Chains A and B, each alone.
Chain A
Amino acid sequence: MAIIHVKNVSHSFGKEKVLDNVNLLIQEGEIFGLLGPSGAGKTTLVKLIVGILEATQGEIVISGKAVPSLELLTDIGYMAQADALYSELSAKENLQFFAQIYRLKKQMQRERIDNVLKVVGLSDHANKTINQFSGGMKRRLSLSIALLHQPKLLILDEPTVGIDPVLRQSIWSELRKLKEDGMTIIVTTHVMDEAEKCDRLAMLRDGRIIACDTPERLKEKLRVSSLEDVFLAYGGGNL
């Protein structure tokens, strides 16, 4: 069942067209990847889905409700490409702040904060201020904030940039677990091996979707062995 319906969406910043007539159906409970080089329009597309940007043309419907909607935002966890953290606060204080924004109950707040810190492996650094965090730690904390309120839809913009391979593995296995619990996950990436892990994949190039299917079928159709070749075959050029 499609949970997200992107219908004929185009978006321009001034004169520059960033998205050109994008159509997508994202199924409930799948990990959906948006693959493309930087500047392809991935971030714009996810911001449109969250509702912090509004499409110049077309519409986006999530669970039968038109975006933007405050009601929908309750069910969306968004992790931006840039870490949105208060650098003077500690990791825990950052989490507490957003837990309060989501109006989690006191008891629930404690449970969830412990839980998400464990998921991203930051339990030992909970009381450090963000100033002392490395780039990878900031990424992980941003992810934990997106998971905090147990959203039905998780939207991650380049979530594993600056994260080492071991932790990247553990984050992906966590995403699998979340998916099994019924969460729908949208991930943007420009890394091929991450794209392989998605259930389905949309390839984005210059604001257009050049291909959309499961990684296996994308490769099968063109009889190539890697997603990179698929991308090249559809005229995507190098990533």
Chain B
Amino acid sequence: MRISAIVIRIIKQFLRDKRSFALLFIAPLLVLTLIWLVLDGNEYEPAVAYDTLPPFIEEIFHSQFSGEIEEMSETEANAKFQDGELDAFITFENMELSIILEGSNPTANGAVLKNVQDILKSLNKEGMGEPNISYYYGSEDINIFDQVGSVLVAFLVFFFVFILGGISFLRERTQGTLEKLLSTPIRRWEIVTGYLLGFGLFTVIQSVIILVYSVYVLDIWMAGDFWQLLIVTLLLAITALTLATFLSAFANNEFQMMQFIPLVILPQVFFSGLFPLDTLDRWIQIISKFMPLTYGADAMKEIMIKGNNIWDIWIDLFVIFGFAIVFFVLNILALKKHRRL
């Protein structure tokens, strides 16, 4: 009897929590759809440039290479590498092909190499050796972990700050201390700022630990400056924190806070550069522009793999910071629900 009473009580509670109920069914579908969307993209068509190819090879490339291919000088190619518009540059010297791969995108590297090897098979009769492969960013030592690692670091920081900050701000409400605080002359922005700074301190420590661990222990590919990377990480953490505290206004308990993970966090992972977006539908690319992690992951990649400086990626940082400010203001407005002043 007692057991069935408990079972019935739980069923009732669950049915009355419409959001948890809906999430149980809708969230798995959402995540499945996301994975499908990402993995079902069209085959990647690399953009390749060449110089000094003998006419017969040039002809074969033009007829057989699937992707963009055009002739340009090495200087032009370098500029395009830096703009991220070129995946490989192919030259021919001493009866050997040299391929410079862009290096930061594993899918593009693979697509170029597969394409070139297919073409070489038909050329092999004419006694040519294996192509020389070199990398514009990184080297052949750069592996999948190095390439996704930068995105992963950004994600981990974002994820854990989100959970930590969101739930503690929520607890402030559920344990009644937010109401008590609002019965004092404290201003709403003071509460939000206090949270931001208090947790900001922990995010500094967290960011340092994650970065030190990935760069020095896991020996992840790191071409840039550690301190600049730390600044990017911190900016991203602050954005996660402001987003979390803002969203916690719309959760009634810890469980509902967790429900934001598949809705808000996971989509950002899929669209933040772990998988190439170039092949996906335009609407997905547009959605990704509204996600802070897109800019965070890009900034991390630029510093860690390409060795760029923060002033080279100021647009990313500016956008991330902009997100933080927007969430911060929204958070203050959301507290109006509890006290108008």
CB of B183 within 8 A of CB of A70, answer no
A84 to B180 CA separation, bound complex (whole angstroms) = 6
Segment among B72-80, B184-192, B256-264 that sits at the interface with chain A: B184-192
Which residues between 67 and 83 of chain A lie within 8 Å of chain B, taking CB atoms?
A: 68-71, 73-74, 76, 78, 80, 82-83
Known A-B contacts A68-B340, A85-B177; A74 and B183 likewise in contact (beta carbons under 8 Å)? no
Known A-B contacts A52-B338, A69-B341; A102 and B184 likewise in contact (beta carbons under 8 Å)? yes
CB of B341 within 8 A of CB of A70, answer yes
Given the complex, which residues of A lie within 8 Å of B177, measured CB to CB?
Answer: 84-86
A161 to B293 CA separation, bound complex (whole angstroms) = 49
Q: How many A-B residue pairs have CB under 8 A?
A: 50
Given the complex, which residues of B lie within 8 Å of A134, measured CB to CB?
Answer: none
Known A-B contacts A78-B183, A101-B186; A51 and B341 likewise in contact (beta carbons under 8 Å)? yes
B184, closest chain A residue (CB):
A101
Which residues between 32 and 81 of chain A lie within 8 Å of chain B, taking CB atoms?
A: 50-52, 54, 68-71, 73-74, 76, 78, 80
CB of A54 within 8 A of CB of B340, answer yes
Given the complex, which residues of A lie within 8 Å of B338, measured CB to CB?
Answer: 52
Given the complex, which residues of B lie within 8 Å of A71, measured CB to CB?
Answer: 185
A102 to B339 CA separation, bound complex (whole angstroms) = 17
CB of A74 within 8 A of CB of B185, answer yes
Min CB distance B230 to A, Å, is 29
Interface residues of B, count at CB 8 A:
16
A73 to B187 CA separation, bound complex (whole angstroms) = 11
Chain A contact residues, majority secondary structure: loop
CB of B185 within 8 A of CB of A80, answer no
Given the complex, which residues of B lie within 8 Å of A12, measured CB to CB?
Answer: none
CB of A70 within 8 A of CB of B175, answer no
Given the complex, which residues of A lie within 8 Å of B185, measured CB to CB?
Answer: 70-71, 73-74, 102
CB of A101 within 8 A of CB of B340, answer no
Given the complex, which residues of B lie within 8 Å of A69, measured CB to CB?
Answer: 341
CB of B175 within 8 A of CB of A87, answer yes
Identify which of B183, B187, B340 contacts A50 (C-beta below 8 A). Answer: B183
Which residues between 306 and 341 of chain B lie within 8 Å of chain A, taking CB atoms?
A: 338-341
For this complex, into which size category does the number of interface residues on chain A fall? 20 to 34
Please tell me if A98 contacts chain B, counting CB pairs below 8 Å: yes
B175, closest chain A residue (CB):
A84
CB of A80 within 8 A of CB of B180, answer yes
Identify which of A54, A70, A74, A80 contacts B176 (C-beta below 8 A). Answer: A80
CB of B176 within 8 A of CB of A68, answer no
Given the complex, which residues of B lie within 8 Å of A86, measured CB to CB?
Answer: 175, 177
CB of B176 within 8 A of CB of A101, answer no
Mark each residue of chain A from 89 to 119: 1 if its CB lies under 8 Å from any CB of chain B, else 0.
Answer: 0000000001001100000000000000000
Min CB distance A74 to B, Å, is 5
Please tell me if B179 contacts chain A, counting CB pairs below 8 Å: yes
B178, closest chain A residue (CB):
A84
A6 to B187 CA separation, bound complex (whole angstroms) = 25
A85 to B180 CA separation, bound complex (whole angstroms) = 9
A82 to B177 CA separation, bound complex (whole angstroms) = 9
Please tell me if B182 contacts chain A, counting CB pairs below 8 Å: yes
A74 to B340 CA separation, bound complex (whole angstroms) = 16
Please tell me if B181 contacts chain A, counting CB pairs below 8 Å: yes
Given the complex, which residues of B lie within 8 Å of A87, measured CB to CB?
Answer: 175
Given the complex, which residues of A lie within 8 Å of B184, measured CB to CB?
Answer: 73, 98, 101-102
CB of A52 within 8 A of CB of B183, answer yes
A230 to B53 CA separation, bound complex (whole angstroms) = 105
Identify which of B175, B179, B187 contacts A52 (C-beta below 8 A). Answer: B179
Given the complex, which residues of B lie within 8 Å of A76, measured CB to CB?
Answer: 183
Identify which of A68, A74, A80, A84 contacts B339 (C-beta below 8 A). Answer: A68
Min CB distance A63 to B, Å, is 15
Given the complex, which residues of A lie within 8 Å of B339, measured CB to CB?
Answer: 51-52, 68
A61 to B57 CA separation, bound complex (whole angstroms) = 89
Known A-B contacts A51-B341, A52-B339; A83 and B176 likewise in contact (beta carbons under 8 Å)? yes
A51 to B188 CA separation, bound complex (whole angstroms) = 14
A52 to B340 CA separation, bound complex (whole angstroms) = 8
A71 to B185 CA separation, bound complex (whole angstroms) = 7
A76 to B338 CA separation, bound complex (whole angstroms) = 17
Most chain A C-beta atoms within 10 Å of own C-beta, residue among B184, B186, B187: B184
5 smallest A-B Cβ distances: which pairs?
A84-B180, A84-B176, A78-B183, A73-B185, A82-B176
Give 9 new A-B contacts, CB below 8 A, not counting A52-B183, A70-B185, A83-B176.
Answer: A51-B339, A54-B340, A68-B341, A69-B341, A76-B183, A80-B176, A82-B175, A84-B176, A87-B175
Interface residues of B (CB under 8 A from A): 175-177, 179-187, 338-341
Interface residues of A (CB under 8 A from B): 50-52, 54, 68-71, 73-74, 76, 78, 80, 82-87, 98, 101-102, 145
A and B contact pairs by CB, cutoff 8 A, 27 listed = A51-B339, A51-B341, A52-B182, A52-B339, A54-B340, A68-B340, A69-B341, A70-B185, A70-B341, A71-B185, A73-B183, A74-B185, A76-B183, A80-B179, A80-B180, A82-B176, A83-B176, A84-B176, A84-B177, A84-B179, A84-B180, A85-B177, A86-B177, A87-B175, A98-B180, A101-B181, A101-B186
